[in-house]
Structure 1
Amino acid sequence: MVHERLVCDSIIGGHGCQETIMSVEMMCRFVAPVLSISSKQLNFYIKKVKGDSLLPVYEKLVLHNVSSLSLSMELILTEPFSLCETPGDPGRHRTKFFVLEDQRQSEFWVCFDPSLYKDLAPRIVDETLKINYLEHPQQDIVKLHAVVHFPNLHFSSTTVDFGCVQNCTETKKTVTITNCSPLPLSYRWAFLEDQNQTQIR
């Protein structure tokens, strides 16, 4: 709140007699954009199990304008995240402009689409949803955290080299297999024999 007084004086004659003609009180109230955000971080968790397809997952975001002015905003996301009106809505966007009147709220759904990754590697994705105000330099953010788990094994070595082995003897090598995912795993060993390559004997 800024409070000032504007005074208009007149100087009469050459002796500098001063007389106040007008006095005006001035007040200015500066209102910053105040947005209540339902969550400062949205978390997405996906476990890929056998037979399941990778489908988008959604989290709700509610924005409530608690200031006394309407807010013109721009929401900005990056892949693999997007915005939509309802879960499953094919009309997803990575940028959205809208005006939120004072004391009103609006809800959106933030979508995480894991199918954009074509490999089967587990991953952690950290991004932000940026909220820019068109009439103000303030910026708010919502953290986006996504975890995708695939059944995966880690091998201590991907090459088994026996070196030179003497006739009529045998040698052993140890390979350690670790389940590096929170999912149970079933696996089997198989020697792959290709006629175009050296036969396994």
Structure 2
Amino acid sequence: MHGPMRLLPLLPLIFLAACSDENLNLFFDIPPPSQQELAAKAAREQEKAAAEAKAARQAAGTEQLPPEEEGEPPAIEAVRSWEQAAEMLPKDGMDQADWVEALEQGVIRPREAIGGPRRGSIAVFKFDFFLPGPDPSFDAFFPHSAHTEWLGCESCHPKIFRVRGTAITMDEVFAGKYCGECHGTVAFGLDACARCHTAME
């Protein structure tokens, strides 16, 4: 035999080698895997999935960094009323709490959860960009870095925003969607236009 014909006797072996465990059972009397083997296989798959998720977080810059020394908690954590806390917070041009400045000054140091690590021990995702408006003067600056100083990706994605391609209108924002989920309630108000539309400064 010449050429491809020489491979003809090997075809059955090639087909068997390509078979899954389930398909091989059709040809051979192979005992099913034991409970221990199934558990070990499940553990390997979980480890592989965890490693892939960790690699994705590292590539995105959101993997947890080694814990830092926390030191003394910020003074604001000792107060028990919003009025007292508000007095300690830096203010923006509209006399509202400037949370980004509060982070930068160390007035607040958020935690991942009650009793959890401080958000400062998590890598900041620095993908900051402009969302194009109907006119360049309405382009909106979105700083991932300011948001990921204290929020995890899951706070916004995918519940509030798809990861890419969400079309946003100001009418929807004023109706409490998208940015309006937080801004105007727990973050600076929607009347602080220049905080996002920087060409209006």
**Does TM-score exceed 0.5, indicating one fold?**
no
Structure 1 or 2: more strand by fraction: 1
Structure with higher helix content:
2
Return the TM-score normalized by structure 1: 0.18
Q: Under a length normalisation based on structure 2, what TM-score does the superposition of the two structures give? A: 0.18
Q: Is the radius of gyration larger for structure 1 or structure 2?
A: 1
